[in-house]
Amino acid sequence: KADSVSAATPTEEMNGAGNLMDFLDEPFPDVSTYEDFHTIDWLREKSRDTDRHRKITSKSKESLWELIKSLLDAWSGWVVMLLIGLLSGTLAGVIDLAVDWMTDLKEGVCLSAFWYSHEQCCWTSNETTFDDRDKCPQWQKWAELMTGHAEGAGAYVLNYFLYILWALLFSFLAVSLVRVFAPYACGSGIPEIKTILSGFIIRGYLGKWTLLIKTVTLVLAVSSGLSLGKEGPLVHVACCCGNLFCSLFSKYSKNEGKRREVLSAAAAAGVSVAFGAPIGGVLFSLEEVSYYFPLKTLWRSFFAALVAAFTLRSINPFGNSRLVLFYVEYHTPWYMAELVPFILLGVFGGLWGTLFIRANIAWCRRRKTTQLGKYPVLEVIAVTGITALLAYPNPYTRRSTSELISELFNDCGALESSQLCDYVNNPNMSRPVDDIPDRPAGPGVYNALWQLTLALIFKIVITIFTFGMKIPSGLFIPSMMAYHHHDWIIFKNWCRPGADCVTPGLYAMVGAAACLGGVTRMTVSLVVIMFELTGGLEYIVPLMAAAVTSKWVADAFGKEGIYESHILLNGYPYLDVRDEFTHRTLATDVMRPRRNDPPLAVLTQDSTTVEDVETLIKDTDYNGFPVVVSRESERLIGFVQRRDLTLAIKNARQKQDGVVSSSVVYFTEDAPQLPASNPQPLKLRRILNLSPFTVTDHTPMETVVDIFRKLGLRQCLVTRSGRLLGIITKKDVLRHMAQMMNQDPESIMFN
């Protein structure tokens, strides 16, 4: 039969594939395996890695040196994890110290050593009790330093003015650095990292420059007082570290699939240092950012997260040998009845999450589509100015957000100088500290509550405008800020007769968890992070109750969290594992060509000329072409990548005699013997993928979506009883899903 393909023994085929590897690996430095903004093929990456592994294993039996090399290769994964842990822990420590110092620099300077932060400055001045903390002689506010007057309206205005000036300077520096050196260093980075981990290529997003600039500008942005946190960007920084160390080992640098395993672990390390929660970090990576997370990665992520946490701890940026500023330990139990306010907090968190996502996305869309987006520097300057202007008068917004959270989470001690703890003291001071709620609240408490409410509203509004600006910005901490403190007053009345009473800090923490849950839709990882912050199983039920409620409430208004919304907004080709596809469409409805389209661009196994192929490559931008027996029978024999085809033809034209435009391209096992007068055939079977993925036209789309997700395919061919009918790419799947959800399919932009 003319259209049959003779059988090849496996070894022969495989050797062909082996040669292909050598020949295509780096033939022309300008053609990389995947193009920028394209999707990788997970199955192909995996089988490339298996090939590499097989080669090393078989070589390792040859000599001792090869054996050592194979052992080093096996251990390189752990070495990379160790390095990631060390570097991201160190960077987190440096960032923490720098933010501390620069935040205080907005208010004043340490005379004994200008590189000391307020707290460090007053530590050295040996005379500090808790009350005197704010008044140590070495630390001078700017007004005091410049005019000699520490008090009075003039000094206040001067301090206010300088505070704004510093803030503007920091944010201007930040936005300029980002614009000039590393445009990818802006934003939280988590939506992009999610997309990259799902198999998308964004060159330079995790590069060295991005790492450097993101670290510096993150410090500047947080210090400028903008309503943003360092947690999301820390994940980006850690992933940059991961990418950096990948380049040390060809195992990871040359395989996009293996590289993503390292990046998943790096994300875990990033969350680990951001919250001091290694287990939470691993679960965050598993639940929120990672796509393909084999068990081996779980174990390694945990290792990286632990190393990072302990590196940070040995740097000890907060001087309390804890991993985070707001580590807390509560000792009072909670009561069943308190579940009601916790659930209410959950509802509030869910509503806030929905509101925040909608408002933020609307604002970002406006920024993208209108004139506004053209002046990012101006926008940052304006928002910083407004933030600083409004923040200074309120002591709760003047300070850095993490300091504020730390104060709110903590219980009041008897020695606490905070306004929130300004209860009327009983003369009987021998009573234990836990009894504070028995005392009536002093004027300071009401004052503080009023200020906190204002702070809450201010933060809610300003964060909507801040997230998405062209500087590094994270969401975690601002979200945590939006807690709900009013319950407190209600409960004060309720529990005054009792001896034990509610823990205000616990409410702040539950509120924070609820808001964070509403915004990001994290679940287990959120509870575990909070659990690691408090260090006790006691409060896991309140946290769980709030997190569950918050997610339910928020999900009722829209399934996407903030990161998914930003992915959608940017049109990244992200196939969410959580979306359930429930429509009744079939592969035939999604495949191209559509009804009135021109026929599918295919190659035949033995009747296409080099010129035809070149024309096809020039005229289309497809990533690959199916190869069929003949145009009449349309029986599929394989799939050939555009890149391999381009390279092979380029190569053949340069090196192989007799290959001209009219040469026939053969994908069959053996090319026929042609008379010498005919142009030499070009044999390309070795670049033909003989196992393309196929589904039948009757396959339900839910199965197709499942296959794309689980196997990480780039494209899939559609057949009916052996005949090729069409092709479905990941982009087609995403567009179809968008269409089914009544969204604009054109919003999916990349391949």
Q: Minimum distance from CB of 716 to a second copy (Å)?
A: 12
Q: Minimum distance from CB of 596 to a second copy (Å)?
A: 16
Q: Minimum distance from CB of 184 to a second copy (Å)?
A: 28
Q: How far apart are CA 602 and CA 614, in angstroms?
A: 13
Residue 38 in 3-state DSSP? coil
Which of 117/290 has CB closer to a second copy? 290
Which of 86/155 has CB closer to a second copy? 86
Count of C-beta atoms within a 10 Å radius of residue 151: 9
Q: Minimum distance from CB of 24 to a second copy (Å)?
A: 17
Which of 181/299 has CB closer to a second copy? 299
Q: How far apart are CA 614 and CA 619, in angstroms?
A: 9
CA 721, 723, 729, 732 dihedral sign is negative
Q: Minimum distance from CB of 709 to a second copy (Å)?
A: 9
Long-range contacts made by residues 4-7, C-beta under 8 angstroms, separation at least 24? 5/605, 5/629, 5/637, 5/668, 5/669, 6/669, 6/670
DSSP annotation string for 589-656: HHSBS-TTSPPP--EESSSEEHHHHHHHHHH---SEEEEES-TTT-BEEEEEEHHHHHHHHHHHHHHS
Q: Minimum distance from CB of 689 to a second copy (Å)?
A: 9
Q: Minimum distance from CB of 7 to a second copy (Å)?
A: 8
Identify the burial level of 736 via C-beta atoms within 10 angstroms of its C-beta, where 0-12 means exposed, 13-18 middle and 19 or more buried: buried
Which of 43/150 has CB closer to a second copy? 43
CA 397, 398, 401, 403 dihedral sign is negative
Q: Minimum distance from CB of 263 to a second copy (Å)?
A: 19
Which of 369/721 has CB closer to a second copy? 721
Which of 184/302 has CB closer to a second copy? 302
Which of 232/542 has CB closer to a second copy? 542
Q: Minimum distance from CB of 739 to a second copy (Å)?
A: 15
Tokens of 289: 């950012």
Tokens of 402: 């993490």
267 contacts 298 by C-beta, under 8 angstroms:
no
Which of 109/567 has CB closer to a second copy? 567
Which of 169/540 has CB closer to a second copy? 540
Q: Minimum distance from CB of 83 to a second copy (Å)?
A: 17
Q: Minimum distance from CB of 703 to a second copy (Å)?
A: 6
Q: Minimum distance from CB of 505 to a second copy (Å)?
A: 20
159 contacts 131 by C-beta, under 8 angstroms:
no
Q: How far apart are CA 72 and CA 88, in angstroms?
A: 23
Which of 678/691 has CB closer to a second copy? 691
Helices (H) and strands (E) in the chain, counts: 29, 12
Q: Minimum distance from CB of 742 to a second copy (Å)?
A: 16
DSSP H helices, 182-207, are 190-197
Count of C-beta atoms within a 10 Å radius of residue 487: 22
Which of 25/589 has CB closer to a second copy? 589
Which of 180/336 has CB closer to a second copy? 336
Long-range contacts made by residues 50-59, C-beta under 8 angstroms, separation at least 24? 51/17, 51/18, 51/21, 52/251, 52/255
CA 329, 333, 336, 338 dihedral sign is negative
Which of 106/251 has CB closer to a second copy? 251
Q: How far apart are CA 459 and CA 457, in angstroms?
A: 5
Phi (first) and psi of residue 695, to 5 degrees: -130, 165
Pick from 259, 224, 237, 208: nearest CA to 33:
259
Question: Per-residue b/e over 186-204, b at no fewer than 16 CB within 10 Å?
Answer: bbbbbbbbbbbbbbbbbee
**In the block, residue with structure tokens 């004060």:** 492
